Amino acid sequence: MSAFTPASEVILRHSDEFSQRRVLFAGDLQDDLPAQLDTALSRVHTQQYHHWQILSRVLGEEARYGLVATPESAAECDTLVYFWPKSKPEALFQLTNLLSLMPVGSELFVVGENRSGVRSAEQMVEEWVTLNKIDSARRCGLYHGRIDAVPAFDADAWWEEYPLGHLTVKTLPGVFSRDGLDAGSNLLLSTLKPHTKGKVLDVGCGAGVLSAMLASFSPKVRLTLTDVNAAAVEASRATLAANGLEGEVFASNVYSDVAGRFDMIISNPPFHDGMQTSLDAAQTLIRGAAKHLNMGGELRIVANAFLPYPAVLDEIFGSHEVLVQNGRFKVYRAVLSRPSKTKR
């Protein structure tokens, strides 16, 4: 989070506008602009745990993480600055929540990259705010309006579910695999054998599909599920509960909050952070795996075939194998058969 994103640079073009404002920042925050911008008050709400980790170091309790913003998050704020995410359903969920907390007469700024669909903001919030585009730079748009009415918001009304074989998958806006099992995860599932035992860590668990399927045919497995996305954490908990399955589910930036060692680590790691391409999470996943695996334990991941993971797997584990592949994806397996050479 060192360099400013294009969206933040657009906000900085209007920095004088915010010097006397009490600002709630929310949405797809990918840098520390809220800690750097001169305001009367800077407060943050984010659904992304790794973003909260960075911002909380500077802002302390003024940076808050969770599925929904609370009245305390918006208390005393007169301005909402919302960073548009790549998912429109996620934006609608978050904006409905946030606008329900802001007083009438307060102001809304929405900023985002044009390719993310930020133009949709005007129509999305027109019932409550009339937005006007006030700047265009760095392939981003900045929109501004005054809040004329506030929506009602009930988080429970946003839950959806879909069947997957004999399982029920619970989902929320912004969760990976929200609308159905993705092709990569399906390929990874095809390599998992029944009667798997021991401790399994599911990193980037999304809606909990991989763990739920694994537990359904391997009831002796002990599951730990993690994700940075608060919506994914809640969805995974709900998916396990809906199917009578047990597992520990919590927020973690890859291994940041993970303790202990496991017999298997499974993941369909992301290679984007918001709209930006980023291999950081997957690289961290692979490089840190040896410290979280029992001897003889394995890392099993699915990834787009073009991504450069084989070299890192060989560096950390000494070797790897491709269990299955198709035109788009490969499932990699690497077994810890020697102590890690990574620096501690």
Listed residue (195, 264, 169, 271) closest to 224, CA to CA: 264
| pTM across the whole model | 0.93
Encoded amino acid at 164, one letter = L
The mean pLDDT of 12-26, rounded to a whole number, is 97
pLDDT tens digit string along 55-91? 999 999 999 999 999 999 999 999 999 999 989 999 9
pLDDT band at 339 (very low <50, low <70, confident <90, very high): low
Asked if the model's pLDDT at residue 342 lies above 50, the reply is no
What pLDDT, on a 0 to 100 scale, did the predictor assign at position 177? Answer: 75
Confidence at 288, pLDDT banded by 50, 70, 90? very high
Q: What is the pLDDT of residues 229-272, one digit of tens each?
A: 999 999 999 999 999 999 999 999 999 999 999 999 999 987 64
- 290-308: average pLDDT: 93
276 vs 278: CA distance, rounded Å: 6
Q: State mean pLDDT over 13-30.
A: 96
Q: In this structure, are residues 198 and 228 in contact, taking their beta carbons and an 8 Å threshold?
A: no
Q: How many CB atoms lie within 10 A of CB 13?
A: 12
Please say if the pLDDT value at position 273 is more than 80: no
Type of residue found at 93? F
Pairing of strands 248-251, 222-227: parallel
